[in-house]
Chains A and B, each alone.
Chain A
């Protein structure tokens, strides 16, 4: 069961690029890496998912090194509205069910 470790919090300013790194040393061969975003009092929202190398969509990029023991979510030119909690998820829980959400990284963007 892959456990993830990510920073509790990060601070940034508008217009900057933000990189949030997640460690997952015990990732299994068939595990995907998924990132979600959650605003206060709302449900999490899918951002991006990848298996290896680099994935990019209209919101973010996900960088995964060859050993897949870590991943980095990159948010280009953040704005105040990117202030949220970001969760890194890998694999499934022991019952073979839903993804495991840890405490996430609280990103605070200031002007």
Chain B
């Protein structure tokens, strides 16, 4: 089955700790994205990557970091510098074009205690 997987589905961390969210895709897509969603809100872009070893900041990149060492993987680290990290995090991918249909993973709900 082709698709995007995110793990874990639920994640709890203490305030001040860094945490890494996993995103893997086997769709052979070049582009990958990370979004954040707060209750009752739309999605906001954190980071995106169009190709391996390259990534760009989105609209709300402060307090987050990413890497893209493999085409299939685009992990997101929520650092202690992120002031309000509790949210629903969504990873997406598409073949290449920015206006291509995006395929989303199931999401990770992060709660910082």
Residues in A lying within 8 Å of B, measured CB to CB: 31-32, 34, 41-46, 49, 87, 91-93, 95-104
Contact = CB atoms under 8 A, between A and B. Distances in A.
B99 A32 contact: yes
Nearest to A40: B88
B42 interface: yes
Task: Give the dominant DSSP class at A's interface.
Answer: loop
Nearest to A104: B42
Task: Give the dominant DSSP class at B's interface.
Answer: strand
Given A93-B59, A96-B98, A98-B58, A44 B104 contact: yes
B112 to A, nearest CB: 18
23 contacts: A31-B99, A41-B88, A42-B106, A43-B4, A43-B90, A43-B91, A43-B106, A44-B43, A45-B104, A46-B103, A91-B99, A92-B98, A93-B59, A96-B98, A97-B58, A98-B45, A98-B48, A98-B102, A99-B102, A100-B42, A103-B41, A103-B42, A104-B42
Contact of B48 (A32, A97, A101): A97
A97 B43 contact: no
Contacts of B44: 101
Interface string B1-25: 0001000000000000000000000
Contact of B99 (A42, A92, A102, A103): A92
Contacts of B42: 87, 100-104
Interface of B: 4, 33, 35, 40-45, 48, 56, 58-59, 88, 90-92, 98-99, 101-107, 109
A80 to B, nearest CB: 21
B107 to A, nearest CB: 5
B93 to A, nearest CB: 11
A1 to B, nearest CB: 12
